[in-house]
A and B are shown apart, each in its own frame.
Chain A
Amino acid sequence: MVQPLDYLPETPSQTAGPYVHIGCTPNFVGIHGIYAEDLALKPFPADAPGERITVTGSVIDGTGTVLRDVLVETWQPGADGRFGPGAQGFCRMPSSLETGEWVLETVKPGAVGPNAPYIALWIVARGINIGLQTRMYFEGDDLSSDPLLTRLEHQNRIPTLVAKKTGDGTYRFDIRLQGEGETIFLDM
């Protein structure tokens, strides 16, 4: 006999479901008066230092349909590669109920350690049983020595993690849940 390994198992995940907005962005779905405003509408104050960028994206299912009930959360350092203070660097974005697009207005993150600059994403929706982790890197940055990207077996999938530059300070980042061009999702 041995002593029991008495660690606690992590609570199982369950889908955020179709009404995730009620809990996470109630004002966005017309539930006013409980919270003055929804949490983390913007990741940084307007005067935060750094290059201002706008990333527009959508989340697309295995049939090619854009999700209009998805919630995307982002977490990143500031332009100097430091985190915080508080919730600075965190943004919560419900996709448009009409078009499914979400828009992230932020500052371009600085590099942290040996990693190329990136923003961490967490994606939940009806039909997603456990939140999906991924990363968004940026077209035009040097990605050649990023520790995650360099160790990927399927180098041809790297573009799924890279936001495409569409203009001065604007990027596009579509997330494909399944099938051709499926985004790389992480377990880390």
Chain B
Amino acid sequence: MTLLPRKRDGHPPAHTPGYKSSVARSPSRALISGPASPTELSGPTFGHELLGKLDNNLVVNFTGQPAIGERIIVHGRVLDEMGRPVPGALVEVWQANAGGRYRHKKDGYLAPLDPNFGGCGRTITADDGSYEFLTVRPGAYPWPNGPNDWRPMHIHFSLFGPSFGQRLITQMYFEGDPLIPRCPIIRTIADPSAIERLVAPLDMNRAMPMDCLAYKFDIVLRGRRQTMFENQMEGM
């Protein structure tokens, strides 16, 4: 079994001066490639016993009382590059509250904390790779980078596939947000089609009438390949 090589041109490079924090935190030497060993090909697995009943419901999972904001479902499937579902994948999310404020001592933004919003959730994908969260739409917020930079509405996603070498953290954006093309973090990605793959469309098929809207965000992890010709000695 091997992992498909990572196609780096679909990812942001390490050094992206428009996102100032990357300047001193980016390796300057070339990455070293080599065959992955069983350590990179294997990975931790997580069972459903890990999950609490409300772990994927950010609206109520902090205090039991509902958070303030526009209720939304965020759902989708985790697939690999072959298009196969990835079941059993741990999906963790975190986000700002409806006003654009994180529950973190380093966030001093003017918008108030919501006493009923913690800001994190997690779930494990089903056999078809599907997952869903109920949450509130996160607010946009300003951040210290350029003189007037704002983050578009976004939800952070952390993903585990079956291989540690598939580990991925990314961010989901919302269809129609005018801050997307202005965001220096999004602009770390050079390929416009790659940016589009981070923007979740409004999904009225999943919206619940008189309750909440829905957004669909599919996530693709590196492919794992196994063929009958692999690991076979020539002539054997």
Contacts and interface: CB of A to CB of B under 8 A. Distances in A.
Nearest to A7: B81
Interface stretch (A45-53, A100-108, A123-131, A165-173): A123-131
B40 A188 contact: yes
A138 interface: no
Interface residues of A, number: 76
Interface residues of B, number: 84
B156 A23 contact: yes
B14 interface: yes
Interface string A119-156: 01010111111111100000000000001100110000
A57 B130 CA distance: 37
Contacts of B38: 77, 83, 112-113
A84 to B, nearest CB: 7
A188 B46 contact: no
Nearest to A64: B24
A23 to B, nearest CB: 3
Interface in B190-236: 194-195, 197-198, 219-223
Given A35-B55, A62-B26, A177-B26, 20 more contacts: A7-B81, A9-B197, A10-B168, A10-B220, A11-B198, A13-B169, A14-B156, A15-B188, A29-B103, A29-B104, A34-B55, A35-B52, A76-B39, A113-B38, A127-B21, A130-B11, A131-B168, A177-B24, A182-B28, A185-B32
Interface of A: 6-24, 26, 29-31, 33-36, 39-40, 61-63, 65, 67, 69, 73, 75-77, 83-84, 86-90, 112-113, 115, 118, 120, 122, 124-133, 147-148, 151-152, 177-179, 182-188
6 contacts: A11-B170, A11-B198, A12-B12, A77-B38, A132-B27, A188-B3
